[in-house]
Amino acid sequence: MSKVPAAYQASEGSILDVDKAFYSGLSAAQSERRLVATHTVPMRDGLAWEVPAGHIFRIKVTEGAQVGDFNMWHLHNPRERMWASRTRQLQRAHVSTYDRLWSTLPYLRPMATIIDDTLADYGIDTQGGRVHDLLGTRCDPYVNRLLTGEDFDFHCHSNLVRAIEPWGLTEFDVHDVLNVFQCTGLNEDDQYFMKASPARQGDYLEFFAEIDLLCALSCCPGGDLSVDLWGPDARDPLTTCHPLGVEVYAVAESLLADWTSPRPAPYRGQHGRQALSVDWADIKRGRCC
């Protein structure tokens, strides 16, 4: 069977045409970076942190396998936030090195680019599972109530809500996630499945911040997802839960000499409307507006 081409393809020189040499250089130049912040995302909890443009941040497994649900906003304008579905179309449903996370309309620009991934060679397992997915979204207490008839407050959605409140954001700002270290796919009935994470202590996913970012991560209360959260075999997966680590690095200016932070999409935003031409004399005469 011939391979069906992707719907969205990069033309040479476009913003989709990633400069792999530049990002590989950032990843390789370990001696040219300086650790400026470390964070621990507690087990079954969430955390938010800031990353300046031109910095690197790493999400890492510090103890046992653990999946994390990741959100991201423009630090100075939270209306611009990560757009999971468009990223899934422009990049892949499961992302890895050189893939970019894109922002919502009308901004539509890369917010961060993945520059290193210790699970990049995982590929596709025998059940069709892959890691770091944009297929699903965060677990939440609303779905839990529908499935179980009970309230349980500690889901990834709730963790993210609490994490971003110090920045003045609310539940309405939480959005579809990147599931870091999570192994997922679609089964023979085209239904979403999750399976045990293959991540182990020391594994990490590393990003380059293209713009000033506010990031948030939930340590999923489902742990490594080796235990069913719903259904007849469901039980509390507490024993599979662990914290996650975050590191933020400043990069030597010499490495960024040819880099510029991407600007928002240049589309002028008329959407087929006719541009208004207003004469100030008409306004004064009461003939306009």
pLDDT tens, the chain, 289 aa long? 678 988 888 788 888 889 999 999 999 999 999 999 999 999 999 999 999 999 999 999 999 999 999 999 999 999 999 999 999 999 999 999 999 999 999 999 999 999 999 999 999 999 999 999 999 999 988 998 998 888 888 899 999 999 999 999 999 999 999 999 999 999 999 999 999 999 999 999 999 999 999 999 999 999 999 887 767 777 787 899 999 999 999 999 999 999 999 999 998 888 888 765 545 445 434 454 4
Cβ-proximal residues to 250 (8 Å cutoff; 6+ apart), any chain: 33, 34, 36, 55
Report the candidate in 157, 74, 71, 140 with the shortest Cα–Cα distance to residue 110: 74
Q: Give the separation between CA 222 and CA 131, rounded to whole angstroms.
A: 16
CA distances for 95 relative to 7, 8, 74, 98, angstroms: 17, 15, 20, 8
Which region holds residue 184: left if phi is over 0, alpha if psi is between -120 and 50, else beta?
beta
The CA R_g of the chain, rounded to the nearest whole Å, is 21
The 3-state DSSP class for residue 136 equals coil
Residue 79 in 3-state DSSP? strand
Greatest Cα pair distance in the chain: 75
Is the Cα torsion angle 164, 167, 172, 178 positive or negative in sign? negative
Say if residues 218 and 69 touch (Cβ distance below 8 Å): yes
